[in-house]
């Protein structure tokens, strides 16, 4: 009896929580213009800012957070880098291509770790291909499309003309848009593929009027994730119609025009550290590391399982500068969150919009709800 009691005494010392940030450099994609520089290190500064926030809190709770940064060069061996993480690093933030998420999650070395997908928007990774030890920080494409659909419904833009680019990602985005149209009772009056073929007489700019001619619709919805042509659509359509989707009015987790609910403070702190605006991936990495901080402080633990249990419990409430507490959906590991509807220089709205109701959380009007999930 005495021995049992002694065995249960927990040493009161400093807890050390090791977090890895694993990323692989991306090939610089083709760009429409030189207006915005390609940012190679999206995400990293977000993780660093969150670590420093965690440690500011940790000084009062006797918890120390450590960030192990691994950025694999283009063509480097990502799997090898992941396998080099020790057993003592149980929490891993991933900023990798969507195809690499489950490749890493299925490694034997990943089985006792908790992974945070801080870059993808793939519905498949949250659906049929979900993994129990992977949490997804950014809104899925379905969540984004639902957010836009709510806005279009509110504006009574019921008839959509969908323009779809050539990449597989554009097809996925278009699929999410179609799902949202069905969900909100909207009508897809036209759908056209943008094929990116020109000759000497045709340029992208000059193609838009005739490309959009002959249809009547309320709003042009564009699926062009890489930004290869979407910016050409606004002001060039045959009929004067707004553009929404991946360009024009966009649905995003974070935006530089966002300043409500204390967001100005986060924007300022980030800019001071990074020397540039906070991007979506920076915000995602920030939230992932902050979620670990919040759960470990509340659970008073440095153990992966205890942190995960707290994170997925009803008690978990993460402050994400978007006016509502963020939490994880237990059915697919998706972070529940408001979505910003942003124009290049103004914040147009925040979804879920007023009036879109849900029995549990209005945030669950966005994306795959519990009864619809394919995650098993």
Partner 1 sequence: MQKIFLSSFCVAALFMAAANAETVFVTLEKDNAIAIVDPAEGKLIKTVPVGQRPRGIAVSLDGKQIYVATSDDDTIKVLDSETLKEIGNLPSGEDPETFAISPDGKLMYVSNEDDNEVTVIDIAAKKAVQKIKVGVEPEGIAVSPDNKWVISASETTNMLHWIDTKTGKIVENTLVDPRPRAANFTADSQQLWATSEMAGTVIVMDSASKQIVQTIKLQVQAVNDELIQPVGVVIDKDRHYAYVAMGPANRVAVINAQNYHVEKYLLVGQRVWNLAFSPDQKRLYTTNGVSNDISIIDLTEHKVTKSLAVGRYPWGVAVKP
Among 298, 309, 343, 374, binds partner 1 (CB under 8 A): 298
State how far the Cα of 146 lies from the Cα of 303, in Å rounded to an integer: 36
CB 294 to partner 1: min, Å:
8
And the tokens for 376?
């098993």
Stretch that binds partner 1, among 96-104, 118-126, 235-243, 355-363 (CB under 8 A): 355-363
State how far the Cα of 261 lies from the Cα of 250, in Å rounded to an integer: 20
Q: Which of 62, 64, 46 is closest to 54 using CA atoms? A: 64
Q: b or e along 184-202 (b: 16 or more beta carbons within 10 Å of the residue's beta carbon)?
A: bebebebbeebeeeeeeee
State how far the Cα of 147 lies from the Cα of 144, in Å rounded to an integer: 5
Among 268, 303, 305, 330, binds partner 1 (CB under 8 A): 268
Which phi and psi (to 5°) does residue 17 adopt?
-115, 115
Instruction: Supply the DSSP symbol for 326.
Output: B
Nearer to partner 1, 103 or 319 (CB): 319
Nearer to partner 1, 158 or 276 (CB): 276
Asked if residue 145 binds partner 1 (CB under 8 A), the reply is: no
Among 39, 319, 343, 369, binds partner 1 (CB under 8 A): 319
Asked if residue 61 binds partner 1 (CB under 8 A), the reply is: yes
User: H-helix or E-strand containing 1?
Assistant: none
Asked if residue 15 binds partner 1 (CB under 8 A), the reply is: no
CB 367 to partner 1: min, Å:
17
Nearer to partner 1, 61 or 89 (CB): 61
CB 291 to partner 1: min, Å:
12
Instruction: Say how many residues touch partner 1, by CB under 8 A.
Output: 24
Asked if residue 56 binds partner 1 (CB under 8 A), the reply is: yes
Among 48, 53, 123, 364, binds partner 1 (CB under 8 A): 53
CA distance readout (Å), 205 to 62, 78, 194, 236:
59, 40, 12, 7
And the tokens for 327?
């939490």
Nearer to partner 1, 210 or 268 (CB): 268
Q: Which of 186, 191, 187, 176 is closest to 146 using CA atoms? A: 176
Nearer to partner 1, 49 or 233 (CB): 49
Asked if residue 62 binds partner 1 (CB under 8 A), the reply is: no
State how far the Cα of 240 lies from the Cα of 18, in Å rounded to an integer: 54
Q: Which residue has the tokens 């993994």?
A: 131
Q: Which parts of this chain interact with partner 1 (CB under 8 A)?
A: 53, 56-57, 59-61, 262, 265, 268-269, 272, 290, 294, 297-298, 317-319, 323-325, 361-363
């Amino acid at each position: 009896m005495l021995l049992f009691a002694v065995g249960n005494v927990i040493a009161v010392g400093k807890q050390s929580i090791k977090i890895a940030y694993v990323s692989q450099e991306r090939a610089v994609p083709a760009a429409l213009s030189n207006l915005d520089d390609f940012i190679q290190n999206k995400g990293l500064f977000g993780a660093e800012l969150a670590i420093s926030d965690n440690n500011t809190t940790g000084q009062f709770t006797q918890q120390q957070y450590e960030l192990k940064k691994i950025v694999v060069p283009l063509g480097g061996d990502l799997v090898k880098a992941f396998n080099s993480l020790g057993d003592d690093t149980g929490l891993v933030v991933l900023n990798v291509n969507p195809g690499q998420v489950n490749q890493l999650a299925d490694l034997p070395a990943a089985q006792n770790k908790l992974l945070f997908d801080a870059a993808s928007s793939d519905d498949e990774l949250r659906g049929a291909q979900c993994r129990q030890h992977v949490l997804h920080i950014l809104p899925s494409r379905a969540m984004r499309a639902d957010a836009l659909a709510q806005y279009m419904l509110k504006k009574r833009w019921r008839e959509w003309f969908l323009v779809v680019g050539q990449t597989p990602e554009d097809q996925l985005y278009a699929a999410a848009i179609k799902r949202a149209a069905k969900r909100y009772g909207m009508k897809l009056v036209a759908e056209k593929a943008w094929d990116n073929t020109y000759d000497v007489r045709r340029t992208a700019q000059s193609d838009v009027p005739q490309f959009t001619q002959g249809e009547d619709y309320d709003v042009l919805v564009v699926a062009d994730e890489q930004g290869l042509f979407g910016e050409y659509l606004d002001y060039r359509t045959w009929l004067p119609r707004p553009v929404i989707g991946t360009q024009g009015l966009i649905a995003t987790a974070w935006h530089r025009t966002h300043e409500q609910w204390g967001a100005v403070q986060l924007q300022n702190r980030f800019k001071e550290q990074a020397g540039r605006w906070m991007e979506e991936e920076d915000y995602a990495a920030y939230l992932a590391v902050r979620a670990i901080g919040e759960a470990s402080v509340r659970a008073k633990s440095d153990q992966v399982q205890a942190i995960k249990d707290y994170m997925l419990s009803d008690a978990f409430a993460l402050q994400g500068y978007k006016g509502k507490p963020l939490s994880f959906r237990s059915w697919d590991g998706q972070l529940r969150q408001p979505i910003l509807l942003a124009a290049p220089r103004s914040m147009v709205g925040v979804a879920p919009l007023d009036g879109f109701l849900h029995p549990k959380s209005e945030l669950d009007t966005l994306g795959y709800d519990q009864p619809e999930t394919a995650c098993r």
